[in-house]
Structure 1
Amino acid sequence: MAVSETELMLKGYGLTTAEIFYRMPDYRSVLNSFIWQDYDLAPDHPRLFKLIEHWQESIEGPLHSIRFTHRKQVAPGQWRSVVGEFTYH
């Protein structure tokens, strides 16, 4: 069952963006970059580390460096449910 982005944010997830620099398998002196974004939990970042583990095990381009940032979009205390709507003429 898919969880919406809003539900993830209310559970404490924030948007993590990572820029991954890696070497080309055939040309080790050439660096390439890959941008990845997903909702993740700080400070452990389980989804980011799962991606890094997958990269090291399955992808031939060796990692050079990773730069990432994390930002919570909505905190649980900032969300409130609106039950009704009033219109004024």
Structure 2
Amino acid sequence: MRSSEFSRQLEGYGLLTAQILYHMPDHPGLLQTFLWQTLDKAPVFPELKRFLTFWERDIDGKLHSVRICHRDLIGPSDWRLLDAEYPIH
């Protein structure tokens, strides 16, 4: 059973964005860009590894490079001190 996205975030998963450059199958001299986002766990990135394994096995375009950006969605909360409080009734 797959847990909800919120539960995965509590387990340490964050938003991963991968920019994948690959050679076009019919024109290997040309590069195409593919953007992919998912929840993944840094620093091992099991979901990204699974996706790239699938790509190399089932997709004709040979990989050129992969750039990633990862951001935890749940972390220590930011807080600030209030200057004033205004009660309402």
TM-score (norm. length: structure 2): 0.81
Tell me the C-alpha RMSD between the 2 structures: 1.4
Shift in Å, 1:3: 2.5
Partner of 2:23: 23
Partner of 1:48: 48
Counterpart CA distance in 1 for 2:42 and 2:68 is: 12
Which sections of structure 2, spanning at least 5 residues, go unmatched? 78-87
* Aligned length in residues: 79
Amino acid at match of 1:37: Q
Percent identity reads 43
Which sections of structure 1, spanning at least 5 residues, go unmatched? 79-87
Say which SS state the counterpart of residue 16 (structure 1) adopts: strand
Where in structure 1 do 4 or more consecutive aligned residues deviate above 3 Å? Answer: none
Q: Which has the larger radius of gyration?
A: 2
Partner of 1:65: 65
Shift in Å, 1:8: 1.1
TM-score (norm. length: structure 1): 0.81
